Structure 1
Amino acid sequence: MSISSKLDQFHAQVKHNRSLWYFSIFNRIALAAGFLPSGFVKINGERFTALSNNHPMGHYLEALFHTGYYYPFIGVMQMLAAILILIPRTVTLGALIYFPIILNICILSLAVRFEGSHITAPLMVLANLYLLCWNYDKIKYIFPFNTTSLDATQKQKKLSKKFPTVFFAGVVATVVLAVLIFLKVYDVMPRNTIAECKQQFEGSNRTRAGNDFCECIHTHGQPLDQCLATYEKAPDD
């Protein structure tokens, strides 16, 4: 049996599970809720956050805000993707538009260690990937290993009521693992304010170095990498 046939068979089994169908609807609503407000803010010409311009993410968002029509264009695409994901007939197109946007946000959040989305963005990427996999039957024709003709149809089957315990246990484990990993992956975070930044060093032997790091970010507005390099070279208290 070819790879294409095996994937078709597996996808058909998954697609006819009632619980997994409900989970796909949940992901659609959650992803739409994530982009509609932020997209509207951009279209309305408002700043996305109140972060200081000296904050690493603040640097980026301030520059983005001053990019002319590019800034509201991102908002338009976010709202378009969110609306298309909510409509059953266009969910595949919406997921395809949504994915590069949220993947970019995810990488950006991790690169600048932004607390506002360094956990939610990876989870949204996973939710988006689930929708793309859920609609594999509509996008499989772009894969080189696919051997199914475009007009091939499958008989509609009655939805199974069997609860996929193993799958949802995996979902819960993935969410918990992602939260734990991205909460602990960085020892030092710029935080959103200088007070919160300094608070993370309280009770440690890096108080002085930590305070200098926070001043470097929030007061002097230096790049994150430069502030981290200075912090790592600084001696303990």
Structure 2
Amino acid sequence: MNEFKSRFWPQLVVVYTRFLLGGGFVFASIIKIKGKRFTTIGHEDASFGTAMHFFETMFQTGIYWQFLGWAQLLAGLLLMTQRFAKLGLALFIPIIVNIYIITISMDFGYTSVITGMMLITGLGLLIWHWEELRILINLPYNETPKHRLENEKLWVGTGGLMFLFTVIYRILYDSYDPIFWFGVCFLIGLAALLIRISMKRYHRLQK
């Protein structure tokens, strides 16, 4: 297992998975922190049944609604930093479990599929980090690969850039445009990937 985790591409997949999950949380958190409704659809719309009433009740709590936003923002930020991703994952899992249970308990359609995929992906990261997290239940700690992509400044900077873009964009615009947000983050991530691959090829030529 450690040999597999030492390889470049599996580590790269983990890095970008953290970007995706963390970015999704940050994107959804800002509107709550601003003290606004999660959706622009009127809460009186009967076609959305108890689900809209549930979220409207949470929105009306004020402080609790913003607390949820800050919790998502912190978990997302820690995941995107890479260096503190394991702490972010520890915050992410209970939050996404709670969100998933809410979406399957109410008529939220495809949203439960999205939250379910986020939960499964988070559990996958939990398995990836098991050798490091097992110490939390008093099991012996096993050594992990010495070279880890998550410690490279490139990925820390990429996560920081994605985080700043997401926060600034959501502060300036209340309306939802996840395609635009994802597209910009995708380009940032693609640029980082191309830089890293170029660096890898350069080092090979130097040897």
User: What is the TM-score of this pair, normalised by structure 1?
Assistant: 0.56
Change (3 A) 1:116 1:58: farther
Judging changes above 3 Å, is the alpha-carbon distance between structure 1 residues 154 and 59 closer, same or farther for their aligned structure 2 residues?
closer
- 1:36 corresponding residue in structure 2: 26
Q: Is the 8 A contact 1:16 1:158 kept in 2?
A: yes
Deviation at 1:89, TM superposition (A): 1.8
Is 1:98 aligned to residue 92 of structure 2?
yes
Whether contact under 8 Å (2:6, 2:145) holds in the other structure is no
Mapped pair 1:23 → 2:13: yes
Structure 2 unmatched runs, 5+: 150-207
Distance of aligned partners of 1:26 and 1:51 in 2 relative to their CA distance in 1, 3 Å threshold: farther
* RMSD between aligned residues: 2.2
CA distance in 1, matches of 2:148, 2:88: 26
1:31–1:82 contact (8 Å) kept in structure 2: yes
Distance across 2 between alignment mates of 1:103 and 1:81: 13
List structure 1 runs of 4+ shifted beyond 6 angstroms.
Answer: none
Q: Give a deviation string over 1:134-184, Cα, whole Å, max 9, x none.
A: 22232111235x2x2x5x64563799xxxxxxxxxxxxxxxxxxxxxxxxx
TM-score by length of structure 2 reads: 0.63
Task: Please list, as runs of the form range in 1=range in 2, the aligned pairs for 1:1-237 lying within 5 A after superposition.
Answer: 10=1, 12-49=2-39, 50-53=41-44, 54=46, 55-115=49-109, 117-143=111-137, 146=139, 148=140, 153=143, 156=146
8 A contact 1:47–1:65 mirrored in 2: yes
8 Å contact kept, 1:32–1:85 = yes
Which of 1 and 2 has greater Rg?
A: 1
Paired residues of 2:37 and 2:59 also in contact (CA < 8 A): yes
* Cα distance in structure 2, aligned partners of 1:100 and 1:158: 26
Q: Which residue identity lines up with residue 32 of structure 2 in the other structure?
A: K
TM-superposition CA deviations, 1:197-229 (whole Å, max 9, x none): xxxxxxxxxxxxxxxxxxxxxxxxxxxxxxxxx
In 2, the alpha carbon distance for the partners of 1:95 and 1:154 equals: 18
Q: How far did 1:22 drift?
A: 1.5
Aligned length: 145
SS of equivalent to 2:61: coil
2:119 is paired with a residue whose SS is: helix
| Greater helix proportion | 2
- Counterpart residue type for residue 32 of structure 1: G
Q: Rate the CA distance shift 1:158–1:38 in 2: closer, same or farther, 3 A.
A: closer
Distance 1:153 1:56, change over 3 A: same
Is the Cα contact below 8 Å between 1:24 and 1:130 reproduced in 2?
no
